[in-house]
Chain A
Amino acid sequence: MAEKSDAPTPTVIADDIHITYKVQSGGRTREVHAVKGVTFVAHKGEAIGLIGSNGSGKSTLLKAVAGLLPPARGHLYTQGQPSLLGVNAALMNDLTGERNVVLGGLAMGLSHRQVRERYQQIVDFSGVDDKGDFITLPMRTYSSGMAARLRFSIAAAKSHDVLMIDEALATGDAAFQRRSKARIAELRAEAGTVFLVSHNYRTVTETCDRALWLEAGTLRMDGPAKDVVAAYEAHTKPKK
């Protein structure tokens, strides 16, 4: 192990973690072994992309790191409280965008005062009001892009020690994607470590310097983002 002084500070240590889900189907309870013995150390200042095919356990792993799905076996150590960038589940479609901003902010743990202070910033960032007074209408009346933009804006209103982003970059139109990319960069600067799950490999190579490749719940490869993405793409390319 390198000298403590110049060694990077670890923020997340996953030590051989296994995660199982219980699934009720009919009368039987089945256990799904979603993550099977993954070990890695994430450091301060890193942006780590998680790649792998659907159902390879990427999102499950993020939820475990966030402390939302306790690992069945293995140990997980984190600095502070890692958070998922996502607030969708707290929002209610029947309520106005206005009230959802407040509700979502409070759900993420902001205080009443912080929500009030950031309210205008969130609304402006989302651009929901650009084409008229939409923020006072129920969210169910929004177009899907508009709703996604507001959700992202609420979620991105808070900075975190360890931030995890699950496919959040692909929302909204081109202008909003530019803005959200800039905001992610800001969040990354504020956060110690950023994890990003994405199927867009350009995003991963552009935003991350390191990548983990998960396949069927096991860690297939861990290294510089460019190399891992290249290996993954070569692997998934249809064979002739």
Chain B
Amino acid sequence: MTLTSTPPAHTPAPTEPAAPTVPTPSAPSATDLAALAARHGLTASGARPSLPAYTRLLWGRRHFVTAFATARLTAQYSRARLGQLWQIMTPLLNAAVYYFIFGVLLRTKDDIADFVPFLVTGVFVWTFTSSTVLAGTRALTGNLALVRALHFPRASLPVAYAVQQLQQLLFSMAALAVILCCFGQFPRPSWLLALPALALQSLFNTGLALIMARLASRTPDIAQLMPFVLRTWMYVSGVMWSVGHVLRSDRVPHLVAVALQCNPAAVYIDLMRFALIDSFTAARLPPHVWLVATGWALLTGVGGFIYFWQAEETYGRG
């Protein structure tokens, strides 16, 4: 026997003879239903899990996260004739364009030692952060159908997008290794420092992706604004010029100098240059650079995760 609970007001007898609605034992009131739910151990649907439980759920979905990231990466070039070869051709072509403009046409290379490795490293490391931020803004808004169809911790999506960008960067790093060798920078032990630098930057980027995903899910307009924010950020991060060079002149106020040196993008770029390029010595690194890099990574990574989790139950709504 089923409980019929249509309020009488909502059953205006259709023009036909009233259909035999199942007789209602007693119209259940709200308190009855709550009690019934409690008695049978039913729980409220769609409630947000606690932070530790959420973290465990996300960990449980790690295979989905990596499969989703790899699937997106693969799908990207699946219609191209050369297919996955583009994974490595795209960064190489990018580097060639930058070399042509900044190295050949503008002759910036005369000011900075090992200019091409300096430039290409900067561009690749910067692209990792900027494309992760952009991807983050689309992680939820671009997957609303998925969010509305299946259950999984929503953080899986921005994290998967960040993982996809990391995979893309690994291809770029392979291209970079080739370029470095072409310009006389051969593998040496300090290249291993690239690993912790990359790990810290990945954590930082993932945090940013989570933050951007939440912001953009509430205000989709952020996606329109981000290219401008990112371009500004790029110009102050010393991608194509050396922050150290500029700071050596005394024209820069102290506060601005500190801000430029603590800029996380600049920090991760300089760490990578320090690891890979001979002439980029420790003297050219800002003070306490590893500490700053770790601080940004932890603050943004952990903070971004908590910030994203706080709105978990609202994603996909409206």
A residues with a Cβ closer than 8 A to B are: 1-2, 4, 8-13, 15-16, 20-24, 31, 37, 39-41, 43, 46, 63-70, 75-79, 81-84, 86-90, 92, 94-95, 99, 102-103, 106-109, 111-112, 138, 210, 218-224, 227-228, 230-231, 234-235, 239
Contact at B45–A107, with CB atoms within 8 Å?
no
Give which listed residue, B5, B32, B143, contacts A222 with CB less than 8 A. Answer: B5
Hey, which chain B residues are within 8 Å of A106, CB to CB?
A: 61, 63-64, 67-68
In the assembled complex, the Cα of A2 lies from the Cα of B28 at a distance in Å of 13
Hey, which chain B residues are within 8 Å of A111, CB to CB?
A: 63
17 contacts between A and B (CB under 8 A): A13-B33, A13-B42, A24-B220, A75-B30, A75-B34, A75-B44, A84-B149, A90-B68, A103-B67, A109-B64, A220-B6, A220-B10, A221-B19, A223-B21, A227-B21, A231-B14, A234-B15
Contact at B64–A78, with CB atoms within 8 Å?
no
Contact at A88–B2, with CB atoms within 8 Å?
no
Hey, which chain B residues are within 8 Å of A218, CB to CB?
A: 6, 10
Enumerate B1-54 residues with CB–CB distance to A below 8 Å. 1-7, 10-11, 14-16, 19-22, 25-26, 28, 30, 32-34, 36-37, 39-46
In the assembled complex, the Cα of A64 lies from the Cα of B313 at a distance in Å of 12
In the assembled complex, the Cα of A142 lies from the Cα of B298 at a distance in Å of 46
Hey, which chain A residues are within 8 Å of B5, CB to CB?
A: 39-41, 219, 222
Contact at B149–A102, with CB atoms within 8 Å?
no
Hey, which chain A residues are within 8 Å of B11, CB to CB?
A: 220-221
Contact at B75–A92, with CB atoms within 8 Å?
yes
Contact at B21–A70, with CB atoms within 8 Å?
no
State how many angstroms separate the Cβ of B25 from the closest Cβ of chain A: 7
Whether a CB of chain A sits under 8 angstroms from the CB of B288 is: no
Whether a CB of chain A sits under 8 angstroms from the CB of B182 is: no
Which 8 A-B pairs give the minimum distances between C-beta atoms?
A: A22-B318, A67-B46, A231-B19, A77-B37, A77-B42, A89-B145, A94-B75, A89-B146
Q: Interface of chain B, helix or strand or loop or mixed?
A: loop
Whether a CB of chain A sits under 8 angstroms from the CB of B317 is: yes
Asked if A1 meets B16 with Cβ closer than 8 Å, knowing A94-B75, A223-B4, the reply is no
Whether a CB of chain A sits under 8 angstroms from the CB of B78 is: yes
Binary flags per residue of B218-245, CB closer than 8 Å to A gives 1, else 0:
0010000000000000000000000000
Contact at B148–A77, with CB atoms within 8 Å?
no
Whether a CB of chain A sits under 8 angstroms from the CB of B147 is: yes
Hey, which chain A residues are within 8 Å of B148, CB to CB?
A: 63, 68-69, 89
Whether a CB of chain A sits under 8 angstroms from the CB of B103 is: no
Contact at B71–A39, with CB atoms within 8 Å?
no
Give which listed residue, B3, B20, B33, B44, contacts A227 with CB less than 8 A. Answer: B20
Asked if A20 meets B46 with Cβ closer than 8 Å, knowing A221-B6, A235-B14, the reply is no
Enumerate B158-212 residues with CB–CB distance to A below 8 Å. none
Asked if A16 meets B37 with Cβ closer than 8 Å, knowing A43-B2, A87-B149, A222-B5, the reply is no
Asked if A76 meets B44 with Cβ closer than 8 Å, knowing A94-B75, A95-B75, A234-B16, the reply is yes
State how many angstroms separate the Cβ of B315 from the closest Cβ of chain A: 10
Binary flags per residue of B133-155, CB closer than 8 Å to A gives 1, else 0:
00000000001011111111000
Give which listed residue, B4, B68, B314, contacts A107 with CB less than 8 A. Answer: B68
Contact at A23–B318, with CB atoms within 8 Å?
yes
Whether a CB of chain A sits under 8 angstroms from the CB of B316 is: yes
Give which listed residue, A1, A2, A84, A221, contacts B32 with CB less than 8 A. Answer: A1
Give which listed residue, B37, B40, B150, B318, contacts A90 with CB less than 8 A. Answer: B150
